[in-house]
């Protein structure tokens, strides 16, 4: 796992003090995270939709996929199976409980191609331009500084890679405005569930 030990003390050491966002992402309380995980388990049991949803992501064997805001890792497992032994999945979150949950799933399902990543602010610590796909599912709406977030995703995505993002609890109009005004992503396809974006 990319861990705290490898991180500088401050995000500013990565980005230069002037570029550090003053609207840092906030971790939800532990109780909130646990409750959310329970609800997700329940939803997936009653209405299993993830298999169908990930089809649009066009993930192939050997790819590198970043599950950004992975939460308890329900997409991570699916991505891990799709990329296979030659591929790699980074499961990124700002919440320690998400990293713990992903590690548990890695053990339970013997996932050897997954690397949990505890992000510091908007910095994931992942190398430049390595991702074929970045999935940001059910999390973009909660990001206080969409521009800094989208720039970080742009940094880690290959030139011919894709970002798959959804609206979550915000309108499609807001999602699109935030993506377009970032200037670093082009929306190339829309479905009711997702937007598929390529680096500008």
Ligand X SMILES: C[S@@+](CC[C@H](N)C(=O)[O-])C[C@H]1O[C@@H](n2cnc3c(N)ncnc32)[C@H](O)[C@@H]1O
Closest CA to 72 of 47, 50, 93, 49: 93
Residue 68 or 90 with smaller CB distance to ligand X: 68
Site for ligand X contains 99 (CB under 6 A) = no
82 three-state secondary structure: helix
Considering only residues 40, 130, 147, 187, which one is a binding residue for ligand X as defined by CB under 6 A?
40
Nearer to ligand X by Cβ, of 30 and 85: the residue is: 30
Among 59, 66, 118, 119, contact with ligand X (rule: CB under 6 A): 119
Site mask for ligand X (CB under 6 A), range 155-184, x = bound: ------------------------------
d(CA 168, CA 160): 25
The closest of 185, 72, 93 to 136, measured between CA atoms, is 93
Residue 138: closest CA among 75, 60, 47, 58? 75
The helix/strand/coil state of 159 is strand
Contact 104, 116 (CB under 8 A): no
Near ligand X by CB under 6 A: residue from 74, 78, 105, 194: 74
Q: Token pair of 85, please?
A: 């032994």
Where does this chain touch ligand X (CB under 6 A) — which range of 57-65, 82-90, 136-144, 189-197?
A: 136-144
Site residues, ligand X (CB under 6 A): 25, 27, 36, 40, 68-71, 74-75, 92-95, 98, 119, 122, 137-139, 142-143, 149
């Amino acid at each position: 796992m990319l861990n705290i030990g490898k991180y500088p003390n401050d995000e500013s050491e990565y980005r230069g003090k002037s570029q550090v966002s003053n609207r840092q992402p906030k971790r939800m309380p532990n109780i909130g995270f646990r409750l959310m995980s329970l609800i997700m388990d329940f939803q997936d049991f009653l209405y299993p939709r993830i298999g169908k949803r990930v089809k649009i992501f066009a993930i192939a064997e050997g790819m590198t996929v970043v599950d950004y805001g992975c939460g308890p890792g329900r997409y991570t497992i699916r991505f891990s199976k799709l990329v296979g032994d030659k591929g790699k999945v980074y499961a990124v979150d700002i919440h320690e409980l998400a990293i713990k949950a992903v590690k548990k799933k890695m053990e339970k399902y013997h996932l050897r191609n997954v690397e949990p990543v505890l992000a510091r602010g908007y910095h994931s610590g992942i190398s430049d331009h390595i991702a074929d796909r970045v999935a940001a599912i059910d999390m973009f709406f909660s990001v206080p500084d969409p521009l800094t977030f989208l720039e970080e995703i742009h940094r880690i995505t290959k030139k011919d890679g894709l970002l798959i993002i959804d609206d979550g609890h915000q309108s499609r109009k807001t999602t699109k405005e935030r993506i377009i005004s970032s200037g670093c992503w082009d929306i190339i396809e829309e479905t009711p569930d997702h937007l598929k974006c390529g680096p500008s």
